Amino acid sequence: MRYVVGVDLGGTQLRAVKIDREGQIHIYERTDTDVDSGPEGVLRQMEFLINTVVGDTDPAEIVGVGIGTPGPIDPFAGVVLGAPNLPGWLNVPIKAILSERTGLSVEVGNDANVAGLGEWRFGSGRGTEHFIYVTISTGIGGGVIIDSKLLLGHKGIAGEVGHMTIQTNGPLCGCGNYGCWESMASGTALARFATEAVREEMAHGRPSLITEFAGAEPIEGWHVAAAAEQGDRLALSLMQREGELIGVGLVNLFHLYAPECIALGGGVIKSMALLEPHMRRAINQRAMPPYRDTPVQLAQLADKVGVLGAAALML
Ligand SMILES: [Zn+2]
């Protein structure tokens, strides 16, 4: 069996690939997720995409279909328990349904975990045994690979790296807690801190380039990064804090899992050059000596990380 199919179910896009065992993409398809059609409509879209990428390949040559879906899920039973971006998805037995309809064996994983698996097998984690992938964009998610296996834990819900508490009295997180890494260091958090800081500075008659980049729109993380690149003082201090907060979270991950390396992806990480010195300083100040030289590198698979990781579930 030479090929594997991967499907990445997202709230906006649905992607599918047929790859070989080395991760070479033979066919890549994507479409907008028709979320309004509910689970049945989206399942039909998935079935269609799977059939498209399989094409006229002999089914005997296909190991199976790996699917990455937003959580929470039960990866053992292959059931989506509920997905915030997918209305109507409550206890959907996606593995049973799609394996029956396609005649192929199917495995299901949480999208962030699966992305970690993809980056480990085909991207910056290749050749390691202990690896963590962290994506920092609107939220913070990740996947932990220990002893060359994706860490699933009891009920298959391990690896919620974005929800470790960084500051007990910090901002409210989407999960209901306060001061999670996600609520402190995601792109959304950076934008929120920037909005507060800009308001404060304006009150003292000190304008910031951040406002110019944002224009009439609400401030976003990339406005801060763009202003910082122009040397804006406030933006630089916000990026310094962002880099430090990323470093603090990484130190927790070093101490918990002792990875050989960590790869970072997601929109916020596009500004790595600005963040890195501050991230490094936090690591050097906080990590215990044996962990301090753990490499932190950029993820390599960009927007295909999810779909390649989904396929990797079958390998
Ligand atoms: Zn949280």
Residues 6+ apart with CB under 8 A from 203: none
pLDDT band of 227, cuts 50, 70, 90: very high
Q: What is the pTM of this model?
A: 0.94
Q: Average pLDDT, whole number, for the chain? A: 96
Residues 6+ apart with CB under 8 A from 183: 170, 171, 172, 173, 174, 177, 189
The Å distance, Cα 179 to ligand 1 centre, comes to 7
Walk me through the domains of the chain, giving residue ranges and CATH numbers: 3-119+304-312 (3.30.420.40), 127-299 (3.30.420.40)
Q: Say what the pLDDT of residue 237 is.
A: 98
Q: Rounded to the nearest 5 degrees, what angle is found at the Cα of 191, between the Cα atoms of 189 and 196?
A: 95
Residues 6+ apart with CB under 8 A from 90: 81, 82
The Å distance, Cα 164 to ligand 1 centre, comes to 7
Asked whether the predicted pLDDT for residue 1 surpasses 90, the reply is: no
As a whole number of angstroms, the distance between CA 133 and CA 238 comes to 24
Asked whether the predicted pLDDT for residue 132 surpasses 90, the reply is: yes
Residue carrying structure tokens 């790296």: 161
pLDDT band of 133, cuts 50, 70, 90: very high
Give the residue-averaged pLDDT of 86-107: 96
Give the residue-averaged pLDDT of 45-60: 96
Ion ligand 1 — residues with CB < 5 Å: 163, 173, 175, 177, 180
Instruction: Name residue 261's beta-bridge partners.
Output: 131
Q: Say what the pLDDT of residue 293 is.
A: 95
The two tokens of residue 250 are: 């990484």
pLDDT band of 156, cuts 50, 70, 90: very high
The Å distance, Cα 27 to ligand 1 centre, comes to 37
Q: What is the largest CA-CA distance in the chain?
A: 70
In contact, 108 and 76? CB cutoff 8 Å: no
Asked whether the predicted pLDDT for residue 114 surpasses 90, the reply is: yes
Q: Say what the pLDDT of residue 142 is.
A: 96
Asked whether the predicted pLDDT for residue 85 surpasses 90, the reply is: no
As a whole number of angstroms, the distance between CA 159 and CA 149 comes to 13
pLDDT band of 188, cuts 50, 70, 90: very high
Q: Say what the pLDDT of residue 71 is.
A: 80
The Å distance, Cα 161 to ligand 1 centre, comes to 9
Q: Say what the pLDDT of residue 102 is.
A: 96
The Å distance, Cα 286 to ligand 1 centre, comes to 22
